[in-house]
Amino acid sequence: MQYREMRETLSKHFSQLLEAQRNHIDATGPLSQLDRSVLQGSLRVAEGAVGGRNTLSLTDDDNLTLQAFVAEYELPVESGTPEFEMLRRELHKAYRAYCRSVLQYDDEQRDYDFGARISGHQAGTFSDIDTEYFTLNAVVRDYIAENDQAKSWAPRSRDQKISQLSLLEEVLGSNTDIAKVTIKEAQHVKRVIMSYPKNKNKLPHTKHLSIDDILQRTGLERLSTQSMNGYIQTYGGLFEWARRQGYVKENVFSGLSIRKAKNSKPVRTGFTKEQVENMIDELVTNSHDLLTRDYQLWVTLIAVYTGARLNEICQLQTVDVKQENGVWCLSFNDEGEQKRLKTQASRRIVPIHSQLNELGFLTYCTEQQQSSNTRLFPELSYSPKHGYARMPSRWFNEQFLPRLGLKSRLLVFHSFRETMATALFHAGIEQPLVQSIVGHQREGVTQQHYFKDDYTIQQRRDALEKVSYSLPGQYR
């Protein structure tokens, strides 16, 4: 349900109540002192509810009132959803405006003003009276709250977006009416971003600079084009959400991204088959004594045989190793504490490759289950910024690859995804099946919306088994 529809429904409801109160005052005269005191008390309660200090009932939450309102107007809003919480906030504001309007009309009847026309209700409709605008800060808070409710952002992304939105408020002003932000102002924000120093709040010579100082200062190391576009993308996301909610009429940040020169950044590549086989040999034999922890072996081998993302692997739990239709599989999901996925397409079940089993992976899994470990790699520690991936990432990229002579800007742990996808393509596997294995978003309307049953476990296993590597001597 859109914000504007919600507002229209609340306006209709309270306009009817307001009209009834005015008619009563017109018929019987101004409110009694008792009735006025009660209404003034209701206004104080409403103001407290808007400020988050209390509910409208003081003793209970507003859920019953909200549910009754939803039922009366047959609104498509379910309890516990972001829309339900938005309705709660709007109900508080609407009730506050109603109380103010009744008291205002009552005040007008206690004296005479011969300069004003007295025929009819001159105070206007409820929606006319509630002229409150929505500040940038208020909309930003609602935007963050809704994404928190939906768990749309990983902790690291959330921190980044909050920092970016804080800059937007600094440039435009927290109390700015968001509906009045123009394209010209959005372009000014873009100019600020293009002048913004890298690591501005971490460096002593930049962290105290004002926006004006930033625009005038030269010689500062600026953000990369990719980082600049990250800011603009965040602001575009905010204003697109605000447009859908009815706060603004257009997304003023649409189309403001900065074009990058072609080939301005090297594209990461996959490993060659020879490189993968050299890695497998070192992982299994540990001839250079590079492996000191179990996770170093199995996290890397899982990436070799699935193309999964590093944190997807690191956060696996022992229950995520399961049989599906008689086939041992890994379930990549976000079920459980401190687990997250990059996209909806990341949620998938991937068969365990026969070579991974041959190397002893299922035996390792059984050992973890028998040790009563909940997580498959209990040695890994969690951080909100990196998930469970920090230790494996540093070991692989800073120790393992350099020792094997494979260190390159283009080759990192993430290259296993490109490696698996390329190998599957070369084996003749169709693109949608490849995407379902590695967890890429499907392309095309047919694949996204109409392929409901997905690929079977057997189809995925057959596809994966087309990719194999030469193993060290004892496994041949």
Label residue 132 exposed, middle or buried (CB < 10 Å: 0-12, 13-18, 19+).
exposed
Residue pair 437/350 in contact (Cβ under 8 Å)? The answer is: yes
Tell me which fold the domain 273-475 belongs to.
hpI Integrase; Chain A (1.10.443)
Label residue 54 exposed, middle or buried (CB < 10 Å: 0-12, 13-18, 19+).
middle
Spell out the per-residue pLDDT of the chain, length 476, in tens: 788 888 889 988 999 899 889 999 999 999 888 888 888 888 888 887 887 777 876 556 778 888 888 888 889 988 888 888 889 888 998 998 889 889 888 888 888 866 554 444 544 455 444 445 688 988 999 899 888 887 778 777 888 899 999 999 989 988 888 999 999 999 999 998 998 888 877 777 777 777 777 777 777 788 888 889 999 999 999 999 999 888 899 999 998 988 765 555 555 678 999 999 999 999 999 988 999 999 999 999 999 999 999 999 999 999 999 999 999 999 999 888 888 888 888 899 999 999 999 999 999 999 999 998 899 999 999 988 788 999 999 999 999 999 988 888 888 999 999 999 999 988 998 888 999 999 987 654 334 443 444 689 999 999 999 999 998 875 55
Domain boundaries, the chain: 3-132, 137-245, 273-475
In the three-class reduction of DSSP (H, G, I as helix; E, B as strand; rest coil), residue 130 is classed as coil
Maximum CA extent, the chain: 105
* Count of C-beta atoms within a 10 Å radius of residue 351: 24
In whole angstroms, give the CA distance from residue 14 to residue 49: 17
